[in-house]
Amino acid sequence: MPPSIDYAVPGPLTTLAAVDPAALDGVGADPVEICRPVAGLVIQPEDAQALDLAAERFATNQIRRADELVRHLLALDPAPVTVPRAPERRIVGTCRHFAVLSCALLRHRGIAARVRCGFATYFEPGQGLDHWVTEYRDRDGGPWVRIDSEVLGSTLVTCPADLRPGEFLTGGEAWTGFRRGEIDDSRFGVPGTENWGAAEIRGNAVKDLAALNKVETLPWDEWGRMTEAYEGRTGPDYDELLDTVAAAAIRRHYAEDSEPPARQVIGEPGYQPPVRRKAATGNDTIEHGEAPAGEGPQEDTSYYRGFASLHDQVRRADTRPGHNIMPRQPGNGQRWP
């Protein structure tokens, strides 16, 4: 049996062990209240530009580690992380930074949490915009609850503390919907760019798999065959691999008899996950692994090997793109919802 993943324990990018304990004073036990201050700790690059912040302030947009983000935050304002900052005293980052800080704080309190990469359907009607959120499970065996810390307290979505099915699709969920003809891939992508379509869904499916393995990359990181996929140079074998990835990721979140979000969005009943099939990976980072015979994917269990090298890369990366991880979009002036 492959090793299980304990989502209540920090990973290499969500540890806060190096943070001054005084900065974590007041972090409570309620998951929503833990996440609530994060909306006042990070500012999107586009909003930061409107404040005419110094150019060096945008460097935090490239930081992967939560403890480094907190270090920069405290350099601007030494108050505990439970205290929201004025916009000019927030660190510059994307939706991924909101999600990673929330996940780090939840894991700091021993709450099972993980970051999810996918698409939000509540920013623009009829579109799935590239987005990252956090999900947590506040009791053993309980359901995973998706929370968007960036918009907590806003009216953008009915309940950002408990996103409804279909309001956020992981990369795998969007991929499954696309493969079944349930969503229009041309309406899924990154606003303000030309990055739309099936290639974006492929990329987010892989980045979500990495996040499920506690490697929360930057939105523009690429490794393995991702660059080929973004450029349309992969074939059916790669798409079949993503079918397997998506099916496993969906079944890790939803019960066997649950309806997946992509189908809920278009109002069709029922669901059968794609048939798991063998596929050549051609990927030097992520390898295809099957569940044990007679068993479907189990919660908290990884069936994907090869993340040790990616863990090593992100440990060394700090604020730099490194090794086989490379930046796809610098994003300093780009809003990643």
**Residue 168 to residue 219: CA distance in whole angstroms:** 16
Task: Spell out the alpha helix ranges (H) of 51-185.
Answer: 66-76, 95-108, 171-179
Q: What is the mean pLDDT of residues 19-36?
A: 95
pLDDT of residue 124: 94
pLDDT at 145 over 70: yes
Task: For the chain, give the percent of residues with pLDDT over 90.
Answer: 68
Q: What is the mean pLDDT of residues 102-128?
A: 96
Q: What is the mean pLDDT of residues 43-72?
A: 96
Angle (deg, nearest 10), helices 171-179 and 198-212: 140
CA distances for 17 relative to 13, 21, 24, 277, 331, angstroms: 11, 9, 11, 41, 29
Query: CA angle 288-319-149, nearest 5°?
Result: 75
pLDDT of residue 141: 72
Task: Grade residue 279 by pLDDT with cuts at 50, 70 and 90.
Answer: very low
To the nearest 5 percent, what fractions of the chain are helix, strand and coil?
A: 35, 10, 50
**Residue 16 to residue 70: CA distance in whole angstroms:** 8
**Residue 151 to residue 157: CA distance in whole angstroms:** 8
Q: What is the mean pLDDT of residues 226-247?
A: 95
Cβ–Cβ < 8 Å for 112, 136: yes
Residue with tokens 């994307």: 94
**Residue 154 to residue 141: CA distance in whole angstroms:** 30
pLDDT of residue 253: 63
Structure tokens at 85: 């900052």
Q: What is the mean pLDDT of residues 56-66?
A: 97
- Other beta carbons within 10 Å of 67: 16
Q: What is the mean pLDDT of residues 211-229?
A: 95
pTM of the predicted protein model: 0.79
**Domain spans of the chain?**
21-319
pLDDT of residue 284: 26
pLDDT in tens, 251-278: 766 543 344 454 443 333 332 322 222 2
**Residue 335 to residue 196: CA distance in whole angstroms:** 15
Task: Write the DSSP assignment of 85-120 as a string of letters.
Answer: PPGGGSEE--HHHHHHHHHHHHHHTT-EEEEEEEEE
Structure tokens at 220: 């523009």
pLDDT of residue 252: 62
CB neighbours of 39 closer than 8 A, spacing ≥ 6?
A: 84, 98, 149, 150, 151, 152, 153
CB neighbours of 138 closer than 8 A, spacing ≥ 6?
A: 31, 111, 112, 145
pLDDT of residue 3: 62
pLDDT in tens, 187-217: 999 999 999 999 999 999 999 999 999 999 9
pLDDT at 323 over 60: no
pLDDT of residue 337: 59
Lowest mean pLDDT among 70-84, 118-132, 276-290: 276-290
**Residue 282 to residue 275: CA distance in whole angstroms:** 20
**Residue 212 to residue 210: CA distance in whole angstroms:** 5
Structure tokens at 146: 């998706």
pLDDT of residue 138: 80
Task: For the chain, give the percent of residues with pLDDT over 70.
Answer: 73
Cβ–Cβ < 8 Å for 133, 94: no
pLDDT of residue 300: 29
